[in-house]
Amino acid sequence: MPDGTEVQVFTLSNNHISVKITNYGAIITGIEMPDKIGEMENIVCGFKNLDNYLSNEYLGSYPYFGAIIGRFGNRIAKGNLVIDGKTYQLAINNGPNHLHGGKIGFDRRLFGAETFQTENEVGLKLSYLSPDGEENYPGNLHVTCVYSLNEKNELGIEYYAETDKTTVVNLTNHSYFNLTGGKEDIMNHELFLNATQITEMVEQIPTGKIVEVKGTPFDFTKPRKINHAIDKMPMGYDDNYVLGNETGELKFIGWLKENNSGRKVEVYTTQPGMQVYTGYWNPELIIEGEKKFGRFSGIALETQHYPDSVNQPGFPSTLLHPGDMYYQKTVYKFISE
């Protein structure tokens, strides 16, 4: 880091998959997996050097590649947070709204790290104490993120949080998948989602209504290419799907696949929603003399609570009270077929 702090990179691997994670922002920097003929490639947007994550070019049009997002993933309308009758004004850092935890969210914090290994999996436990008042959120929040990789090629991400004052928590991971290994954009990838509804949005903020996807470009209940409605959706997708998962069970919710490579990622989560973002605003960067990333360079499948839940009493609650434990889990399963 510029101040001399050392940042670590850890590799979780089995005989098929290799996942690189740094304790800066709890970022997944790379996931190497084979295609159908065994060719290994990195299938997520990320960098090999810390300097790229800190560069002005990257942060200027900041896509949050691979990071853990907190305290509150997605948007809060006008940065307006009311808890127990008290108003907290949060940073306005995305148009008129608050996004992804503020000006310096968990994506740019340094986590404590320890590795572990069992008979069936290897893992990394990352922890961070977000002090009371950080980004103007109330409460000292102890956050733990556990990454694990097992022999079934499943990458588990588990989130735990505890607070000493009532606060809000909505944690997610912001990895962008590109199953071609970055050789092409993601518009020819196929997406299937077990979701028949989305939160209706006006300028990226929910109206409070839940609407059906049937007969719209948002319908992925049958597998469709991401560009299937490009004439109606020239900027692609940045929308929250309602998963009908109120009980918090770990449920299969869909998959992403790319036919030429034979690579497929299945998604399972305990979360009630998932933001599908196709990376319209991803910056094009020159990395080691080569043009990389840019528009539609990856698709983020961000399992989460709904955007602006704090201002929508009808949405699943994101409040966390002292004495309670926040817990969510998401699994990405990697398949070559």
Residues in the chain: 337
% of the chain with per-residue pLDDT over 90: 98
pLDDT band at 245 (very low <50, low <70, confident <90, very high): confident
- Of the candidates 100, 189, 302, 305, the residue annotated as catalytic is 302
**Measured CA angle at 77 (ends 74, 80), to 5 deg:** 110
Q: Tokens 């309602």: give the residue.
A: 242
Give the model's confidence band at 113: pLDDT under 50 very low, under 70 low, under 90 confident, else very high. Answer: very high
Structure tokens at 141: 């929040």
Is 321 annotated as catalytic? Answer: no
In the chain, what are the helix, strand and coil shares in percent, each to the nearest 5?
5, 45, 45
Distance, CA of 72 to CA of 308 (rounded, Å)? 9
The stretch 246-253 carries a mean pLDDT of: 93
Asked if residue 247 has pLDDT above 90, the reply is: no
Distance between CA atoms of residues 48 and 110, nearest Å? 17
CA 26 to mean position of chain CA atoms: 11
Q: What is the pLDDT of residues 271-320, one digit of tens each?
A: 999 999 999 999 999 998 999 999 999 999 999 999 999 999 999 999 99
Given pLDDT bands bounded at 50, 70 and 90, which one contains residue 246?
confident
pLDDT, one tens digit per residue, over 126-165 is 999 999 999 999 999 999 999 999 999 999 999 999 999 9
| Site of tokens 């960098």 | 47
For 63-109, how does the pLDDT look when each residue is reduced to its tens digit (9 = 90+)? 999 999 999 999 999 999 999 999 999 999 999 999 999 999 999 99
What is residue 326's predicted lDDT score, i.e. its pLDDT? 98
Which residue out of 98, 100, 174, 305 is catalytically annotated?
174
The H-or-E segment that residue 56 falls in is helix 56-60
Q: Would you identify the CATH topology of the domain 9-336?
A: Beta-galactosidase; Chain A, domain 5 (2.70.98)
Contact call for residues 21 and 9 (beta carbons, < 8 A): yes
pLDDT grade for 125, boundaries at 50, 70 and 90: very high
Summarised one tens digit per residue, pLDDT across range 187-209 is 999 999 999 999 999 999 999 99
What distances in angstroms separate CA 90 from CA 76, 83, 97, 315, one per listed residue?
9, 13, 9, 20
pLDDT of residue 36: 97
The residue-averaged pLDDT of 258-282 equals 98
- Judge whether 266 counts as a catalytic residue: no
pTM: 0.97
